[in-house]
Chains A and B, each alone.
Chain A
Amino acid sequence: MIREALLVAGKDLRLEWRSKVGLVQIVPFAILVLMLFAFALDPDRGVLERATPGLFWVAVLFSSVLTLQRSFSVEAEDGVLDALRLSGLAPVSIFWGKVAALTAQLLVLEMILAFGVAIFYGTTFHSIGLLVVVALAATVGIAASGAVYGALAARLRSRDTLLPLLMLPLLAPVLISATRGFEIGLERQAGGGWTWAALLAVFALVYLILGSLLFRPLLEDA
């Protein structure tokens, strides 16, 4: 299973590397979102500073939806989904491979956005350990839930508009928890940041289990 998951993850990352969609479209989009927030809130730097964690995660979520759409639209083209079903790859391996590739892509995006908030918002990072754990747990949660819903919407003609509608409300708990965790990590607010990290880890775990169980029927119905 691990070999198959690595094979799928490697293929997804290679596809991204070849197409450069993330680099030339999604990353600029995410930076643009950050910049627009900066323009909108610049007159009052206090608001911008306080809102930085939320703005960071809103930019991540919007960009994640684009990354997820891309990840599953390539499987829906040219009968590839049929080829995957015929390949003998276990659906659970495909799911874990997709999650691994999405997690890697989103982590890179978050690192770029972290530089973005440092430059545009003047943010300094304090509790690095907490920030990294919160980001990692949130990212795995986004990737796992995104893989489940991405497979669900994969072959629908309306998938491009349906996926954001499905994903954004679903990811509200991730947005809230990650924002709270970052507020504490960036010392905007006092409190136990690890509680939020734990909540994000539970969300990720639930969707990893759900995806492992549901990916076969989702792939069949796609």
Chain B
Amino acid sequence: MLLRGPNGAGKTTLLRCCAGLLPVTSGTAEVLGIDLRTRRTAVRRRVGLLGHATFLYQDLTVRENVDFWARASGASIDDGVAALRRLGVAERLWSLPVQALSAGQRRRVSFASMVCRRPELWLLDEPHAGLDAAGRDTIDELMAAAAAAGATVLFASHELDRAHEVAHREVTIAGGVVEAAP
């Protein structure tokens, strides 16, 4: 599902609410059958969030980062390795500290850290940002595969041409209010 809207519309806030990182202060909200008003922390283990930040330790190597986040979420180290391969992160980069990578490479590693957790709900904030054409195609393939496997993918994007090719549904918000949800 594509989430679109102008800057400041509330896309990132909505994604963070769905991830259980921000409290729902009014109205009702439910994610994966969990009421976010009362049990928002319970949803966290089941969602994957890719935001503007990398969510990576800059001094650790690529492999150490992915291993840590995989094991922290109960996945195996093999899951992390598989995710790195799937994201096309070259093996020669695995032993480099994250701070030595380009922005696009970091984005791929962030994605791998999220993918290896096998979340039921993918929350992606500008998933194509900073990636080259091949990286963007990889992300689109991953989103399509996740959706085909039964996960829900909610992503905010300003790259509407590309986003329309992937999304099955589209929601437009402005000023924190849903304007259109065909």
Find chain B residues with CB under 8 A from A77 CB.
Answer: 58
Report which of B52, B57, B61 forms a contact with A80, defined as CB distance below 8 A. B57
Q: CB-CB contacts of B42-61 with A at 8 A, as 1s and 0s?
A: 00110111011111111111
Contact of A83 with B21 in the complex, beta carbons under 8 Å: no
B64 engages A14 (CB within 8 Å): yes
A11 B56 Cβ-Cβ under 8 A:
no
Q: Are A78 and B72 in contact (CB under 8 A)?
A: no
Q: A11-B68, A87-B73 are in contact. Are A82 and B55 (CB under 8 A)?
A: yes
CB pair B69 A79 closer than 8 Å: no
* Inter-chain contacts of A83 with B (CB < 8 A): 55, 69, 113
Please determine whether A15 and B53 come into contact, CB atoms closer than 8 angstroms.
no
0/1 string, A1-39, CB within 8 A of B gives 1: 000100100010011001100000000000000000000
**Contact partners of A78 in chain B: CB under 8 A:** 53-58
Question: A45 near B: Cβ within 8 Å?
Answer: no
A80:B73 contact, CB within 8 angstroms: no
CA separation between A79 and B57, bound complex, in Å?
Answer: 9
Could you tell me if A87 and B58 are in contact, using CB atoms closer than 8 angstroms?
no
Which A residue sits closest to B56, measured CB to CB? Answer: A78
A156 at the interface (CB under 8 A from B): no
B98 nearest CB neighbor, chain A only? A78
Closest Cβ of chain B: how far from A132's Cβ, in Å?
A: 31
Contact across chains for B59 and A15 when beta carbons are under 8 A apart: yes
Q: B15-37: which residues lie under 8 A (CB-CB) from chain A? A: 19-21
In the assembled complex, the CB of B75 is this many whole angstroms from the nearest CB of chain A, namely 10
Does A88 sit within 8 A of B, measured CB to CB?
yes
**Are A4 and B57 in contact (CB-based, < 8 A)?**
no
Known contacts being A78-B56, A87-B73, is A7 close to B51, with CB within 8 Å? no
Instruction: Report which of B20, B41, B55, B60 forms a contact with A14, defined as CB distance below 8 A.
Output: B60
Check A80/B56 contact, CB under 8 A, given A86-B21, A88-B73.
Answer: yes
Query: In the complex, which residues of chain A have a beta carbon less than 8 angstroms from the beta carbon of B52?
Result: 79
A75 closest partner in B (C-beta): B57
